[in-house]
Amino acid sequence: MSLCSQTAHQLHTQLKNRNITATQILSDVYDRIKQVEDQIGGYITLAEETAFEAAGIIDQRLQNGDDLPKLSGIPVAIKDVICTKGIRTTCASKILANFIPPYDATVIEKLKKQGVIIVGKTNMDEFAMGSSTENSAYQLTRNPWNTSTTPGGSSGGSAAVVSADTAILSLGSDTGGSIRQPASFCGNVGLKPTYGRVSRFGLIAFASSLDQIGPFTKDVRDSALAMNAICGYDPMDSTSAKFDVPDFENSLINDIEGLKIGLPDEYFLDGISQEVETSVREAISQLEHLGATIHRISMPHTEYAIATYYIIAPAEASANLARYDGVRFGYRATETNNLESMYKLSRSQGFGPEVKRRILLGTYSLSSGYYDAYYLKAQKVRTLIKKDFDEAFEAVDIIVTPTSPTAAFEFGARTNDPLQMYLSDIFTAPSSLAGIPGISVPCGITKDRLPIGLQFLAPPFDEETLLRVAYTFEQNTDHHRQKPQLN
């Protein structure tokens, strides 16, 4: 079994026993990148030189007999929306094509303290706006299970590199489903923590009240290890929550006897793929067999979630992206003769079509005469959606849903129909609006050999129960052991 195909916890055991070195793991990962990256296109930037320097330091510490943290020496990929000191960070946009951050995001500082090795920065939808990674200014990222299909988005590169074994684990960001939906499409585990659980300092903002950093991993145990590394209060982030961080690995108990699991009627709609619904209902039967009790619940405001999300998120994006004006940093148009034309040309040339669409939508909904009709009303509906979840969690411990209404779709299938693309997030956007944690785990394969994801949702700051349920399901099925066949 190659080193690059193993989990972080498997590799840690071998490192601890001095059976392998960090340099050997990293070499195997980069060999794999050379073999398959031209098929996948998962990375925008590789950091090979600094990665091998970091691996050498870990190996020296191993020789010295140091007792290293569990993620030391593990090669990790980072979504290109998270600032990395000295490593180009583009947000997959022309407007930041040459931006090299002078500082690390808080999550990067935390990972470096753990001895993690950064392999490179992964491709994404520009400024995290998209559900297919087709909106990147640089390249397409292809799904390792079928390279004619998308890996999902916006964190498609981070999902694809874990499935293709060109990283052991990765970080992404989730605004309306951008970790969970790609995890579903690529057959790995994707966890969106509670809003405020992980610092957003150094995460380049899309929608500040929604964005949250989380991990992609090959199994649930690795998700717990990643959460142990990245969670915690950060005074640099005004939205960071002062909650104690438990040892999430202690949550990995193979037992859900007596747990109450809610099954919302509104998440099984017309238009959901029959294969997805069949796999999800089989998974629910398995949970019941394992001792959980299934309770039908209603979340009546779910139908308004997509409309609400696509008012609030673009409005926040409109404000956040105003800083890219060609003056302070980023792309600046040269063929200008006054300040106004420099602003206009820098932004029109620097941003791609989807980013421009969302800036226009957001600016419109915030404009005089429309603020009350759109943005204010959307915020009120957001409160009702959160109330649905609050009331549901008074009756049940966990909620289970499909992650996405379909498996991965082909390139170009939805690019000319933005509404259909936006509906890809119909099962993930409500929980993002409510700020609660969610995880997607593999639960099946379509007849065309594409993965299907199962989503668990938990009350705020109850990632422990979330991981326990996901781990129990994983330990009693073999879906997570299925791998794509790449030449």
Give a yes or no: residue 124 inside a domain. Answer: yes
Give a yes or no: residue 52 inside a domain. Answer: yes
Contact present, 432 and 177 (Cβ < 8 Å)? yes
Q: Is the pLDDT of residue 169 over 80?
A: yes
Average pLDDT, integer, range 186-196:
98
Domain that holds residue 157: 3-253
What pLDDT was estimated at residue 264?
A: 97
> Beta strand 189-192 with 438-445: parallel, antiparallel or unpaired?
antiparallel
Rounded Cα–Cα distance for residues 126 and 92 (Å): 5
Q: Is the pLDDT of residue 167 over 80?
A: yes
Give a yes or no: residue 313 inside a domain. Answer: no
Give a yes or no: residue 107 inside a domain. Answer: yes
pLDDT tens digits, one per residue of 64-91: 999 999 999 999 999 999 999 999 999 9
Active site residues: 79, 154, 178
pLDDT tens digits, one per residue of 411-424: 999 888 877 787 78
Indicate the helix (H) or strand (E) that contains 176.
none
For tokens 């991965």, the residue is 408
For tokens 């970790």, the residue is 179
What pLDDT was estimated at residue 415?
A: 80
Give a yes or no: residue 286 inside a domain. Answer: no
Contact present, 280 and 263 (Cβ < 8 Å)? no
Check which CATH number belongs to the domain holding 24 and give it.
3.90.1300.10
pLDDT tens digits, one per residue of 275-297: 999 999 999 999 999 999 999 99
Give a yes or no: residue 243 inside a domain. Answer: yes
Question: How many of the other CB atoms lie within 10 Å of CB of 59?
Answer: 18
Percentages of the chain per state (helix, strand, coil), in multiples of 5: 45, 15, 40
Contact present, 100 and 50 (Cβ < 8 Å)? no
> Beta strand 43-46 with 260-264: parallel, antiparallel or unpaired?
unpaired
What pLDDT was estimated at residue 55?
A: 98
Torsion of CA 129, 132, 135, 138, to 10 degrees: 120
First-last CA distance in the chain: 16
> Number of structural domains, the chain?
1
pLDDT tens digits, one per residue of 375-427: 999 999 999 999 999 999 999 999 999 999 999 999 999 888 877 787 789 99
Give a yes or no: residue 306 inside a domain. Answer: no
What pLDDT was estimated at residue 328?
A: 82
The model scores a pTM over 0.85: yes
Q: Is the pLDDT of residue 472 over 90?
A: yes
41 backbone φψ class: left, alpha, beta (φ>0; ψ -120 to 50): left
The phi, psi pair for 243, rounded to 5°, reads -115, 140
For tokens 């709609």, the residue is 269
Which string of DSSP letters, residue by residue, matches 314-364? HHHHHHHGGG-SSSSSS---SS-SSHHHHHHHHHHHHS-HHHHHHHHHHHH
Q: Is the pLDDT of residue 336 over 90?
A: no
Q: Is the pLDDT of residue 486 over 90?
A: no
Which residues lie across from 399 on neighbouring strands?
262, 457
Q: What band does 255 get if pLDDT is binned at 50, 70 and 90?
A: very high
What pLDDT was estimated at residue 424?
A: 82
Contact present, 164 and 170 (Cβ < 8 Å)? no
Give a yes or no: residue 420 inside a domain. Answer: no
**Proportion of the chain above pLDDT 90, given as a percent:** 93
